[in-house]
């Protein structure tokens, strides 16, 4: 063989491989690379075009199918989806297979206008189930529409169409147009998650504020809740109600809670040294309690700092009970036996299945603000509040009311025999040094 023929064969192989890389191997449809190459042709001022992205299922649902029926079946499902889709589109449309479960087409806008049902027809065709190897499989199709814009490139248009397809899962018509507002929210959520590890590692982005918890009968403060604050260097203050639910969906909740636990306990030692023995409440997420060794770490830190377990309270929400994790229940049991108080946070705002209330592994029920905040003046309805307190106490829990904003709510809760309370009426969350001043002036 001559050197020349070897070179020709190598080139042929390279051409072949390059060509192969432009098709999806499961459906043999042109893939994302081809879509990106062809995109410039869709972006012509004289003919407005609309991208329609169809995604067959969300990743979690697809993984379930993979686990139950295997890879080859899952590929058959994707092929069946592609065939059904192609049969619903005009014959000359090019369907691109852009990711495992997603397909995209570019349609002239007037075609969509003259057939306004194009997208909903697709949504409807996939709405029931599709038959794959004689098995009916439920898909969770998403249909997203995104106009081709001259100044938005291929990759960005693809991403926007995918956002629309995901949004369509919450739309009654089964389809959705790209919505800049919801996309901005996605982008912000992503940015926060991307920046959170840096915040955890940095010395000055995260801080804890403390909100006094008051004994409603004596008016004294025996405890405070540690509440996380994040000041993002560019975005400013971010509410924990925004970033904690995001962190909870990722592994970041582990180092985040660890940061809170570590700092709250050290701070608690300083409160003690300053002559204010407090029980500091730490909010934990369901995931944290399911992590092995969470209880041991907390107790070891107590010992290392010379704190009694009684100086710590752990707050968790009803979501933890829903996870039904035996490890979480066992760890709560261990902590309670060691003397750590456990409180169920936001009671009444979640699952509210009354039959489980007797089995909640907690010492304290914190009644959700939504029951307390409406109590503004004499005569305001407190029927539910009254009975929740009475049931909780009847079952042996101590009760703490959250969101006390008025003198009336404070007095009424005291009359109702509620043991403890928190709220702006008594004190807002504040930095540790301000809490010390506040305690000094009070006692």
Pull the structure tokens for residue 242.
């925004």
Answer positive or negative: Cα dihedral of 248, 253, 254, 259: negative
Run of H or E including 98: strand 96-99
Least Å distance between CB 347 and Mg ion? Answer: 8
Q: Which is nearer to ligand C2E, 291 or 345 (CB)?
A: 345
Please answer whether residues 106 and 50 qualify as being in contact, where contact means their C-beta atoms are separated by less than 8 angstroms. yes
Q: Specify burial of residue 313 (Cβ count, 10 A radius: 0-12, 13-18, 19+).
A: buried
142/423 with CB nearer ligand C2E? 423
Instruction: Choose among Mg ion, ligand C2E, none what residue 331 binds, the Cβ cut-off being 5 to 8 Å by kind.
Output: none
Cβ proximity to ligand C2E, 16 vs 424, nearer residue: 424
In a 13 Å sphere around the CA of 84, the CA atoms on its Cβ side amount to 23
The site for Mg ion, by CB under 5 A, has a size of: 5
Is 399 strand, coil or helix? strand
Nearest approach, Cβ of 370 to ligand C2E (angstroms)? 10
If the CB atoms of residues 284 and 432 are measured against Mg ion, the closer one turns out to be 284
User: 208: which strand partners?
Assistant: 228
- Return the closest-CA partner of residue 354 out of 342, 365, 363: 365
Q: Which is nearer to ligand C2E, 208 or 416 (CB)?
A: 208
Question: For Mg ion, which is the closer residue by CB, 105 or 280?
Answer: 280
The whole-angstrom separation of Cα 435 and Cα 427 is 10
* Min CB(254)–ligand C2E separation in Å: 11
Q: Which residue, among 215, 179, 196, has the nearest Cα to 260 in the 3D structure?
A: 196
If binding is defined by CB under 5 A, does position 315 make contact with Mg ion?
Answer: yes
Tell me the Ramachandran region of residue 54: left when phi exceeds 0, alpha when psi lies from -120 to 50, beta otherwise: beta
Partner whose footprint covers residue 27, from Mg ion, ligand C2E, none (CB < 5 to 8 Å by kind) = none
Minimum distance from CB of 274 to ligand C2E (Å)?
A: 22
Closest separation in Å from C-beta 228 to ligand C2E: 4
Q: Site map for Mg ion, 9-38, x if CB under 5 A? A: ------------------------------
Between 351 and 424, name the residue whose CB sits nearer to ligand C2E. 424
Residues 6+ apart with CB under 8 A from 5: none
Q: Match 């709560």 to its residue by tokens.
A: 332
Binding site for ligand C2E (CB under 6 A): 211, 227-228, 239-241, 244, 260, 283-285, 315, 345-346, 369, 402-405, 422-424, 429
- Binding at 190: pick from Mg ion, ligand C2E, none (beta carbon under 5-8 Å per type): none
Choice from 27, 211, 267, 283 touching Mg ion (CB under 5 A): 283
Q: Minimum CB separation from Mg ion for residue 422, in Å?
A: 8
Q: How far is the CB of 403 from ligand C2E (least distance, A)?
A: 4
Task: Between 55 and 281, name the residue whose CB sits nearer to Mg ion.
Answer: 281
Give 149 or 248: the residue with its C-beta nearer to ligand C2E: 248
Nearest approach in angstroms of CB 290 to ligand C2E is 13
In the chain, DSSP finds a helix count (H) and a strand count (E) of: 18, 17
Q: Is 345 in the site for Mg ion (CB under 5 A)?
A: yes
DSSP assignment of 210-268 equals EEEEEETTT--EEEEEEEEEEEETTTEEE-HHHHHHHHHTSTTHHHHHHHHHHHHHHHH
CB of 387 to ligand C2E, least distance (A): 21
Q: Which residues bind Mg ion (CB under 5 A)?
A: 283, 315, 345-346, 402
């Amino acid at each position: 063989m001559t050197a020349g023929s070897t070179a020709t064969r190598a080139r042929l192989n390279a051409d072949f491989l390059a060509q192969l890389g432009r098709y999806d191997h499961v459906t043999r449809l042109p893939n994302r690379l081809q879509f990106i190459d062809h995109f410039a042709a869709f972006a012509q001022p004289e003919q407005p075009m609309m991208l329609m992205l169809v995604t067959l299922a969300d990743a979690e649902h697809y993984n379930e199918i993979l686990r139950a029926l295997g890879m080859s079946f899952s590929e058959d499902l994707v092929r069946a989806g592609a065939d059904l889709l192609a049969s619903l589109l005009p014959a000359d449309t090019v369907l691109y297979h852009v990711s495992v479960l997603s397909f995209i087409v570019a349609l002239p806008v007037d075609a969509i206008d003259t057939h306004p049902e194009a997208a909903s027809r697709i949504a409807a065709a996939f709405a029931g189930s599709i038959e794959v190897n004689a098995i009916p499989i439920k898909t969770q199709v998403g249909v997203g529409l995104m106009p081709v814009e001259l100044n938005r490139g291929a990759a960005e248009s693809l991403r926007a169409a995918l956002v629309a397809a995901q949004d369509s899962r919450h739309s009654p018509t089964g389809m959705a147009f790209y919505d800049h507002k919801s996309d901005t929210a996605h982008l912000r959520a992503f940015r926060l998650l991307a920046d959170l590890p840096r915040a955890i590692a940095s010395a000055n982005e995260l801080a804890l504020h403390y909100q006094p918890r008051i004994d409603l009968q004596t008016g004294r403060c025996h405890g405070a809740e540690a509440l996380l604050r994040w000041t993002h260097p560019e975005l400013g203050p971010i509410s924990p109600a925004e970033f904690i639910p995001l962190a909870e969906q990722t592994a970041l909740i582990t180092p985040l809670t660890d940061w809170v636990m570590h700092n709250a306990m050290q701070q608690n030692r300083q409160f003690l040294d300053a002559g204010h023995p407090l029980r500091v409440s730490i909010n934990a997420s369901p995931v944290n309690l399911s992590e092995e060794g969470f209880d041991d770490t907390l107790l070891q830190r107590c010992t290392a700092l010379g704190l009694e377990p009684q100086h710590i309270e752990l707050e968790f929400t009803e979501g933890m009970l829903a996870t039904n994790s035996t490890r979480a229940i066992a760890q709560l049991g261990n902590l309670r036996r060691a003397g750590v108080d456990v409180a169920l946070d936001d009671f009444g705002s979640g699952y509210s299945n009354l039959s489980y209330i007797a089995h909640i592994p907690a010492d304290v029920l914190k009644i959700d603000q939504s029951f307390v905040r409406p109590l503004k003046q004499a005569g305001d309805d407190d029927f539910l509040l009254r009975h929740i307190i009475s049931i909780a106490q009847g079952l042996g829990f101590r009760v703490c009311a959250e969101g006390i904003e008025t003198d009336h709510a404070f007095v009424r809760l005291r009359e109702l025999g509620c043991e403890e309370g928190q709220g702006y009426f008594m004190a807002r969350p504040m930095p540790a040094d301000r809490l010390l001043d506040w305690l000094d002036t009070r006692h």
